[in-house]
A = this chain, B = another copy of it.
């Protein structure tokens, strides 16, 4: 007969730590709880694995969603070796770095009224539209410096990180300071892209090649003795890492994906990680988990448990 481990009914106690809670989830071992527990186990194994490169894909409105400091903490701890991210998250990171904030809002509101009040809605978070003035001023001031030599997107982003105002936590700045490669293939599709466009429209020039980062991310993947992937959301960040895995001799041995997208419609964002085995993106011997959960719930819970397990390392 199939060897089976019983579902241990979870016990919840006042004052239990995030990791103690996740251990109860591991005891249960099924459905969403079981997957959260498995994600912590895989993340721990990936970090403890010698010579393992961890590729982290970040999509969705994660800065407006309050996840910025967790990403920065992961970067500072070098739990992330390569970051692939949407332009929107970098724009929102810049927005906060140059002094603006996101706000708690609601979706049950008249968007016409918000427009009149110059408030941009991101589901239930609000952003004042005047952030674009701040971004314009910033890019007006720094454009010539950013554009003075031909750059890859990664070089462009590190340069951007290097000029982020000090004193405010920033993903971009942290990537620069920690020398963590940050890729954003669709950088033109973002507020940052729009700011560059504003300067191009004034007749200025900038040379950033769309294909030029491929050599770097593929080299990192190619040279990695071991590789792990961690996806918060899907989109370009996930796919860009997946294709680096596909074309490398060693595919990913560890994988965590947090998503609310469904697999059935066939898109990459909702695809189960096991599908990657067929492509050679994921190792046949790999350990993977798909966490079907809002990332603003799953990521903090997983990360709190993980930090507790890793203890003194932090």
Q: Residues on A close to B: CB < 8 A?
A: 1-2, 4-19, 21, 24-25, 27-34, 36, 59-61, 63-70, 73, 88, 96, 101-105, 107-108, 111-112, 114-115, 117, 119-126, 129, 153, 169, 185-191, 193-194, 196-197, 200-201, 206-215, 218, 233, 235-236, 239-240, 243, 246-247, 260-272, 274-280, 284, 292-298, 300-301, 303-304, 307-308, 310-311, 314
- Knowing A124-B30, A265-B32, say if A188 contacts B201 (CB, 8 Å): no
| Pairs A-B, 4 closest by C-beta atoms | A32-B294, A28-B66, A111-B277, A114-B278
Counting chain B CB atoms within 10 Å of each CB, the highest count among A31, A233, A246 belongs to A31
Tell which of B10, B68, B235, B274 touches A235, judged by Cβ atoms closer than 8 Å: B235
Please name 12 pairs of A and B residues whose Cβ atoms are closer than 8 Å in the assembled complex, sorted by A.
A7-B125, A10-B66, A12-B307, A30-B66, A31-B61, A32-B293, A60-B266, A61-B267, A119-B278, A185-B188, A187-B211, A260-B261
Which B residues touch A201, using CB under 8 A?
215, 218
Tell which of B119, B187, B276, B294 touches A31, judged by Cβ atoms closer than 8 Å: B294
The minimal Cβ–Cβ distance linking A37 to chain B, given in whole angstroms, is: 10
Which B residues touch A193, using CB under 8 A?
185, 211, 214, 243
A196 touches B211 (CB 8 A): yes
Complexed CA–CA distance, A201 and B214 (Å): 9
The minimal Cβ–Cβ distance linking A261 to chain B, given in whole angstroms, is: 6
A12 touches B275 (CB 8 A): no
Smallest CB gap from A215: residue in B: B200
Smallest CB gap from A19: residue in B: B15
The minimal Cβ–Cβ distance linking A39 to chain B, given in whole angstroms, is: 11
Complexed CA–CA distance, A211 and B185 (Å): 11
Which B residues touch A114, using CB under 8 A?
277-278
Which B residues touch A265, using CB under 8 A?
31-32, 60, 123, 260, 292, 294-296
Which B residues touch A307, using CB under 8 A?
12-15
- Knowing A60-B266, A189-B243, say if A21 contacts B104 (CB, 8 Å): no
Tell which of B32, B123, B187 touches A271, judged by Cβ atoms closer than 8 Å: B123
Tell which of B14, B18, B59 touches A21, judged by Cβ atoms closer than 8 Å: B18
Complexed CA–CA distance, A218 and B27 (Å): 38
The minimal Cβ–Cβ distance linking A132 to chain B, given in whole angstroms, is: 9
Complexed CA–CA distance, A1 and B105 (Å): 13
